[in-house]
């Protein structure tokens, strides 16, 4: 008896799960939470077809306050934006997307500037045979629906343009600010930054030559005067010696000539 009871429960559970499978496979946006007023890409993943039939088209109505929607490219599908009775409709048509194959469809958009709110993206999934209407919006928090519309929670603070977003305009053509802030290469160094920059410049050759030349000339002049003085003294000494020798020899010859005997 116990085995029959367990088998019966297992079969009943399988039947319930099989019947609830498609309905429980909800389509949630990615991300499910975002900053109010932000511009971002929101993706929606279709997990199955219509009871075995492949998907051929998706028609999604954007929430009030969403602006500048752009359908992102999906291979084999055409994305378009239409306005019908004041509502913005995003359509993806193509495929087909097989019943057992998942497909992701994304739209870049700017979200409403309403923090602490929940927005819904109801859409109809159309197949070769049949359709699924993901349009259910709960009337109270926590309500379970068979075919709920994708929901996103908006958080604060509201996304705004950064305060420095206008800074690039100051460098636009015609602006005089770059001429004021850009240092001139001809200005004389007046700060530590300019003095540091001058050290990176090539050496000034005229300065090197004017400082090096006196050193070389001074050294060579000292050496030359010493050697010349010694040479002159040596020559004078030799001349005196030779002159005295010649004079002595001359006087000796005169003496011999006067006294031949």
26 CB-contact burial (10 Å; exposed 0-12 / middle 13-18 / buried 19+): middle
CA triple 80-34-72, angle to 5 deg: 20
Cβ(61)–Cβ(122) below 8 Å: yes
Residue 141 and residue 29 share a domain: yes
Report if residue 50 sits inside a domain: yes
Show the DSSP H helices in the chain as ranges. Answer: 2-24, 177-181, 192-198, 205-258
For residue 26, the model assigns a pLDDT of: 80
Report if residue 120 sits inside a domain: yes
Cβ(33)–Cβ(83) below 8 Å: no
| β-pairing verdict for 117-120 and 151-155 | antiparallel
> How high is the mean pLDDT of the chain?
73
Which residues form the domain of 222?
211-261
pLDDT confidence bin for 10, thresholds 50/70/90: very low
Question: pLDDT tens digit string along 128-146?
Answer: 999 999 999 999 988 999 9
Of the candidates 62, 61, 57, which has an alpha carbon nearest to the alpha carbon of residue 77?
Answer: 57
For the residues 71-84, what does the mean pLDDT come to? 97
Cβ(58)–Cβ(121) below 8 Å: no
Sign of CA dihedral 107, 112, 113, 118: negative
Query: Rounded to an integer, what distance in angstroms lies between the CA atom of residue 117 and that of residue 142?
Result: 15
Residue 216 and residue 150 share a domain: no
For residue 37, the model assigns a pLDDT of: 97
In this model, does residue 213 exceed pLDDT 60?
no
Residue 124 and residue 239 share a domain: no
Residue ending a domain, choose from 155, 170, 200: 155
For the residues 64-84, what does the mean pLDDT come to? 97
Residue 148 and residue 38 share a domain: yes
| β-pairing verdict for 87-97 and 33-35 | unpaired
Report if residue 57 sits inside a domain: yes
Residue 233 and residue 120 share a domain: no
User: Could you give the C-alpha distances from 151 to 96, 118, 138, 157, in angstroms and in order?
Assistant: 26, 7, 10, 19
């Amino acid at each position: 008896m116990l085995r029959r009871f367990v088998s019966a429960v297992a079969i009943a559970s399988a039947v319930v799960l099989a019947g609830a499978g498609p309905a429980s496979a909800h389509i949630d946006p990615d991300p499910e939470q975002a900053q109010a007023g932000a511009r971002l890409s929101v993706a929606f993943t279709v997990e199955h077809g219509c009871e075995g039939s492949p998907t051929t088209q998706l028609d999604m109505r954007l929430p009030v306050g969403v602006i500048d929607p752009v359908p992102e490219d999906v291979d084999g599908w055409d994305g378009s934006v239409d306005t019908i009775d004041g509502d913005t409709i995003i359509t993806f048509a193509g495929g087909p997307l097989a019943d057992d194959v998942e497909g992701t469809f994304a739209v870049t958009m700017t979200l409403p500037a309403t923090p602490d709110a929940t927005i819904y993206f109801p859409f109809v999934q159309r197949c070769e045979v049949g359709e699924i209407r993901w349009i259910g919006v709960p009337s109270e928090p926590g309500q379970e629906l068979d075919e709920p519309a994708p929901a996103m929670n908006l958080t604060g603070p509201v996304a705004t343009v950064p305060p420095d977003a206008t800074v690039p305009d100051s460098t636009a053509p015609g602006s005089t600010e770059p001429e004021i802030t850009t240092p001139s290469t001809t200005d004389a160094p007046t700060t530590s930054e300019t003095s540091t920059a001058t050290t990176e410049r090539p050496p000034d050759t005229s300065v090197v030559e004017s400082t090096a030349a006196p050193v070389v000339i001074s050294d060579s002049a000292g050496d030359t005067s010493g050697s010349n003085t010694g040479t002159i003294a040596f020559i004078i000494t030799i001349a005196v010696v030779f002159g005295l020798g010649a004079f002595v020899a001359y006087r000796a010859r005169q003496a011999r000539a006067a006294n031949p005997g």
